[in-house]
Structure 1
Amino acid sequence: MNAHLQHRPAAATDLGDVVGFPQTVDELFFCYPKAIWPLNVGQLAAAIAERRESTVVELDGKIAGFANFYQWQHGEFCALGNLMVAPWARSQGVAQHLVEVMEQIARERYKAPLMKVSCFNANTVGLLLYTRLGYQTVGIVERRAPDGSRVALVQLEKALQ
């Protein structure tokens, strides 16, 4: 673990920073497909209200990452969602740290033996991250991008030890 990375539950005061993380329509689609560009505090607050364990990672005391669970079944699985990293903090281990933190929360608080993740085919960085962290592809489903084009949503899973 990077000593410069700390995590904590997300607070309402964090949302103004987090909404600035997605830099393009595509980035927002990857991390929050139902959102409308540009992401705003109201949209993010609505997502948080429907989800569990919204968590931020701080890098050197500055909010650098955010994620939560969009599905959870105690004793069965948790599904990771809304994972996003601040542009200035990318390629510094924030996403990996955040995924590992969320896996720990799934194991400890939900007794989940399995973590599920969905990642769009165009999200190369995400697909490579999840594969490197031991996630296996279990399915591919068709979805529509904001422009109406067909995209593949890759479904991945990892057994939590």
Structure 2
Amino acid sequence: MNSASTLPFLSHRPLADGDIPTICGFPRSAEELYFLFPRAVWPLTADQVRATLGTRRDPTVVTLSENGRDRVVGYANYATFEDGRTASIGNVSVDPALRRRGIAEYLVRTMIGRAFDHHRLPELTLYCFNTNTPALLLYAKLGLTPIALETRVTPWGEPIALFKLRMDRASWHSVSRIAA
């Protein structure tokens, strides 16, 4: 689905403290929270989000402009960041009422573009659990490719596969030209 035709008034900006309560409402269950914020404890609280900010870089929100007001509808950051080397996108989350409408694609494209065009990184990674098929399909569409598979155990004791996906700057510029 084309995000431009579905939600034409998306923009992004740095996270503000006042955005955090909205982000805390994105996960609808303990299981969903694990996939969005693996180290958090249900329910997600503002203090938990704030605690991550010391180790994260470029916390970014997507806003949807409606009736002259901007509403926070997505959030992501770089979970890891090594200047001049690599970064890993983390905490990709979208308002549950607006999922599958292009917000995640806009958000991930924004984070990838920032990594390659602003920070001039040579590569970028992202982790995704095997059960998140919509996200895996989106990441493949954007040009991220699987490079590793790790076994994890969920908080409820079940084994789960965690894909590590990667993209380099040259691949991004090829993909972003096609999308333009």
TM-score range, shorter chain: over 0.9
2:83 is equivalent to residue 74 of structure 1: yes
* TM score, norm. by length of structure 1: 0.95
2:94 is equivalent to residue 85 of structure 1: yes
Q: Provide Cα deviations, 1:26-62, integer angstroms capped at 9, x if missing partner.
A: 2111111110011010101111221000000011221
Larger Rg: 2
Q: Distance in 1 between matches of 2:147 and 2:14?
A: 30
Q: Distance in 2 between matches of 1:59 and 1:92?
A: 12
| Stretches of structure 1 lacking an aligned partner (at least 5 in a row) | none
Partner residue of 2:109 out of 97, 100, 104: 100
2:14 is equivalent to residue 9 of structure 1: yes
Percent identity of equivalent pairs: 36
| Stretches of structure 2 lacking an aligned partner (at least 5 in a row) | 174-180
2:119 is equivalent to residue 114 of structure 1: no
Q: Distance in 2 between matches of 1:120 and 1:145?
A: 11
Moved more, 56-65 or 9-18: 56-65
SS of the residue corresponding to residue 55 of structure 1 reads strand
The residue number in structure 2 matching 1:153 is: 162
Q: Distance in 2 between matches of 1:134 and 1:82?
A: 19
The residue number in structure 1 matching 2:51 is: 46
User: Could you tell me whether the CA contact under 8 Å between 1:115 and 1:159 is conserved in 2?
Assistant: yes
1:84 maps to a residue whose letter is S
Q: Please list every run of at least 4 consecutive aligned residues from structure 1 whose deviation after the TM superposition is greater than 4 angstroms.
A: none
* TM score, norm. by length of structure 2: 0.85
Count of matched residue positions in the alignment of Structure 1 and Structure 2: 161
1:58 maps to a residue whose letter is T
The residue number in structure 2 matching 1:26 is: 31
